[in-house]
Amino acid sequence: MIVIFRKFFKFSGDQSRLFYQSLGLSLIHAVFEALRIPAIAIVLEAVIDGNVTIQTVWSALGVMLISIAGCALTRRSYTMKQTVGGYTVATDKRVEIGERLKYMPMGYFNDNSIGDITSITTNTAENLQDVATRVIMLTTQGILTTAMFTLAILFYDWRIGLLLIIGIAAFFGINALLQKKSHKVSPLKTKSDTRLVASVLEYVQGIGVVRSYNLDKEANKTVDLAIKENEEINIGLEKTFVPYMCLQSIVLKLFGIAMIYLAVSLYISGAMELINCLLLVISSFMVYAQLDSAGNYSSLLRVLDLSMDKINKVFETPVMDIDGKTIKPESCTINGENVDFRYENKKVIDDVSFEIPEGTTTAIVGPSGGGKTTLTSLMARFWDVDSGKITLGNMDVRDYTLDSLLANFSMVFQNVYLFNDTIANNIKFGKPTATMAEVTEAAKKACCHDFISALPQGYDTVVGEGGATISGGEKQRISIARALLKDAPIIILDEATANVDPENESLLQNAIAQLTRGKTIIMIAHRLKTVQNADQILVLDQGKIIQRGTHQELMKSGGIYADFVSMREKSIGWKLGA
């Protein structure tokens, strides 16, 4: 228990001061709680002596009022500190996770599903802000209050006080068994929570496929099973913990009874005064109450421990930005020297060398799965090469911080992702400080101003998560506007016009050509007219560059590229028979 407390305070970082202050206030609160015992003693002494006066009433009432007022003030203060601390820790960790994810290798996102990552920032962080503060503080509050009551009772009679201490020891012995059991079964809850989040996300993200194939019942089964499993595990946890919590409570109640029995026995034997006997009998009903409550909450300490471990695991994952420096390259020439890259057990890039001079256009073509997108991702350092190196301006891309490296790249991917925000803000993602005039200008050049203006809220239209409320071609053009607004010296176009409708494609091609003039352009494309004017074409197959040259040179030499062009020309001229 103490180990988890220390871990939590360390985990809380700067906010730990709030929790330490809360503990101090809890200790003062416990002192005010214990003042009830001398208040009762004042009344009992006057009753036994037959000397109850108005002074007796006011004295007892004064002590009780001090106790009540002190408890109210300290409870308010430590509760607010706990609440602010809990929510702030959760907020800080969510922000830190978001910041750290930006600098993690893309392999992390392949190894961890979106359900895992989402669960950490939702359920796990929720456990911190709600469960953690309640469990930690109620547990410590119960222990401190019981300790203060025990000290007060020791003042009146050491024998009863010793009995109370034995009762506390017995309680912690049972609680240790509870913690041991919690250590075994609590991981089931955290894993089930993650599976539930992953199942719901998968169902929502694939709802289009579910509907188109009429698989709603089958898809629902997966979610229903995850929900049912989560329910059964949570009920199972309660069934596991309840016997221990009941045993804790029973032991405390039995020691309370033993306290009454011992006090009465000592009085009968003449070893204790009547006032002390009555005082201790009354106190027996109060002394263990807070500890009993703390015992019930302590079963969740292991869940808190696992939550901290899950979040710490994110921070323990190596990032790609540890030793980088903020560098502004002297040129935008990109070179690759004997680059190898392996994903798991598959070699994706195999001993690739290339040069992309500044201000030129390079097209990368080849069969699907040949490594085209991976190669451009290595240039932007979404992954790190396994061997060899890639340089920008004669500096290894690993020498840059990711921020200073990516400042040189604008990227448009085939699979466009738009955020659940306004169209204007999605375009501004390329340049957060951009004015609306700049946003509008970029949209016009990307051929999306007209359709945006036709929307009910125009640029203030919220596109929904992933851009769900607009078409694929419209998302593509917004993505291009975003890249154009960034105005980086290197532009990577990964099938940038794949989802653009034919009537806008020529306009978009002209806009891209105009705005990328004088920049270093790297494009992945399958369309002949997209690549034939490139300064150089790299033909990539099975992770190797097997051909390179201009369109005319590659057509003369034959091979995969010439075959590719021939197939494209035949498909364009292909018609249905009459």
pLDDT mean for each 10 residues of the chain (578 residues): 78 85 87 86 83 85 91 89 84 84 73 70 74 75 84 88 90 84 77 78 66 60 81 83 86 90 90 86 82 75 78 79 80 93 85 91 86 89 90 91 87 78 87 90 85 88 72 79 86 72 63 71 76 87 89 86 74 40
The token pair that represents 245 in the structure block:
């919590």
| Cα 106–Cα 118–Cα 1 angle in degrees, nearest 5 | 110
Q: Is 286 helix (H, G, I), strand (E, B) or coil?
A: coil
CA–CA gap between residue 419 and residue 203 (Å, rounded): 19
pLDDT for position 506:
67
pTM > 0.75: no
Side by side, which strands form the sheet with 346-356? 346-356, 334-343, 387-392, 395-396
- Given a contact cutoff of 8 angstroms between Cβ atoms, the answer to whether 542 and 375 are in contact is no
* Radius of gyration, alpha carbons of the chain: 35
Dihedral sign for Cα 221, 419, 324, 96, please. negative
CA–CA gap between residue 477 and residue 512 (Å, rounded): 11
pLDDT for position 335:
94
Query: Checking DSSP bridges between strand 387-392 and strand 334-343, what pairing results, if any?
Result: antiparallel
| Residue listed under structure tokens 């448009």 | 412
pLDDT for position 178:
81
Q: Is 355 helix (H, G, I), strand (E, B) or coil?
A: strand
Domains in the chain: ranges and CATH: 2-315 (1.20.1560.10), 333-408+491-496+518-578 (3.40.50.300), 412-487 (3.40.50.300)
Q: Which residues of 398-434 are buried (b: 16+ CB within 10 A; e: fewer)?
A: bebbbebbbbbbbbbbbebebeeebbbbbbbbbbeeb
Q: How far is CA 276 from CA 49, 156, 286, in A?
A: 13, 7, 15
pLDDT for position 283:
83
- Given a contact cutoff of 8 angstroms between Cβ atoms, the answer to whether 418 and 482 are in contact is no
The candidate with the shortest Cα–Cα distance to 385, out of 343, 328, 322, 334, is: 343
pLDDT for position 503:
61
The candidate with the shortest Cα–Cα distance to 44, out of 278, 382, 323, is: 278
- Given a contact cutoff of 8 angstroms between Cβ atoms, the answer to whether 460 and 451 are in contact is no
The token pair that represents 104 in the structure block:
């993690």
CA–CA gap between residue 529 and residue 517 (Å, rounded): 17
The token pair that represents 491 in the structure block:
């532009």
